[in-house]
Structure 1
Amino acid sequence: MMDKHGQEITVKINGKERPFTTDKPIETNILENEKEAEPRPSASFQQKKRKKRSPIIGALNARIKSAIFSIMMAVIIGTSFGFIVLNVIPKEKEHSGQTLETELPVPAESKDPTGQAAESANEAAASSFTVSVIQAGVFTDREAAAAYARQLQSSAIPVVAVGEKPVALFIAVGSDKQQLQAINERYKQKTHSTYIKFLSFASTDRERKPVIKAGEALYREMAAISAILLGKGDVHKEEWKKLESDYKQFISQTLPNDDNIKRYVSHMKAAYNLLIAYKTNQQEELLQKTQQELLEALKSYIAVFPLRS
């Protein structure tokens, strides 16, 4: 609206009357008001921009972490494998060698590089006496061994204690390990633990009396037959004939004046008579008694000819 009395013109802007002039300051104020009216970018819009960047950064961080984890695992696995190769495997090989040496000991003569010692070693290996036994345990305390032996005998298991410290309990004998497998399965049910063991004796032809040499052939024959029959196997007629022939050869030998050898011969004769009785009566108890006599004979034999070490 215009005032008649003056040259001032006023206009209403935002509900307020302002003087209208052609000066630039008014235009400036209007522009400033318009700028103030323009909406400012909100904080949520800025956060959205940041959120758009975060998946890329997160994926990059995840890849870096995965790479670091893979490197660490590769280092740990490589270190562990190296430790196993350098420490565990050599120990296992060493343990296997010790076990083989214990079961199949080398005679002391073979360590001598001279030709005479090598010849003596070959002679001992060719003529040495070998059998296999079932061992029911080894004890450092002789009284404990005796108590367990009585327990085995009450279960109708033959047993003999061999050695002093330690004391080993033998509960069956055969000419080889295979013959004792079936007996071992039976005895496992009545014993704490069993182990089939190969025995080799350090004796040569020059050391053994004729009665001992003849007794070794007879012993292996009786051990084989009694073990096979006790394991529910069959024995051919030829084996019985050979047994009779070996026994005649054995009793024809002169008996030396040695208490251990005398006991050995006595147990051998008893074992033979029991085995022949079984052939007639077919009573298993006679086989167990045969095995008991053979174990006693083996104990006397060990007293004369020690085991190889």
Structure 2
Amino acid sequence: MTSDTGTFLIGGDLAVRRLGFGAMHLSAAPGPERAASLAVARRAVELGVTLIDTAHLYGGGANEELLAEALHPYPDGLLVTTKVGVVRSPETGEWGYDSRPAALREQVDHALRRLRVERIELLQLHRIDPETPLADQIGTLAELRTEGKIGRIGLSEVTVAELAAAREVTAIASVQNRYNLLDREHEPVLDACEAAGIAFLPWRPVAWGGAGATAEVAAVAAEAGATPTQVMLAWLLARSPVVLPIPGTSRVAHLEENVAAADVRLTPSQRDRLDRLAATA
């Protein structure tokens, strides 16, 4: 549900600004890199970002701890969403899917501790575990929501059929799939989310294709008085009212460029030219 052009109500009641921030690129390594990451996270909030995306996968929880160090106690209106379902094997050190009910419960408890909260307002299943029945995975998250540990449930990298199956178990508030101007493989999923009023968080929202596509984006950017990155983000915001891009960066200057994309307005002609790029990228 959209309240206006700049905000979206996730799950129908949780208001966030539509242009968020993906924390994946923030380094948690000690020293200058960590200090720079803390500065970027804090600057994002200063710029008015109210949706920050992280995951257990990002550093095995180190990214979540970094955000807590930077931002806790969290300001009113800030949503830090995280993801579970991908874990590292203690035996092999390899990452893999694990969404068995007991494993999900343990992962959520760890996320609550790292983020220093009693409830995660939006928790997303990072990937569907092919070895565990979908109803068990979604059902466990629904139980955790009933218990008050989760506010809303989201999915990541799902098909239209998987989204529909999950919604038969419980309400789904968000979907996070790979999607950008030049990579529209999951367009049917976005359309399904729009029809149902489900937030669609495109990861990798900025990407470059062939020379022709790059030239067209650069041309539109010159006309709009914006950067190519801002044009790609502005296109996403114009694509559908349910789209909540989460561009990530480890540099303050790049963050400021991304956030300013919310003020870029593309003309119908420019949007039409950009729409046609998917076929040529």
TM-score class normalised by the smaller sequence: under 0.3
Q: RCO greater where, 1 or 2, for CA within 8 Å and sep 6 or more?
A: 2
Q: Which has the larger radius of gyration?
A: 1
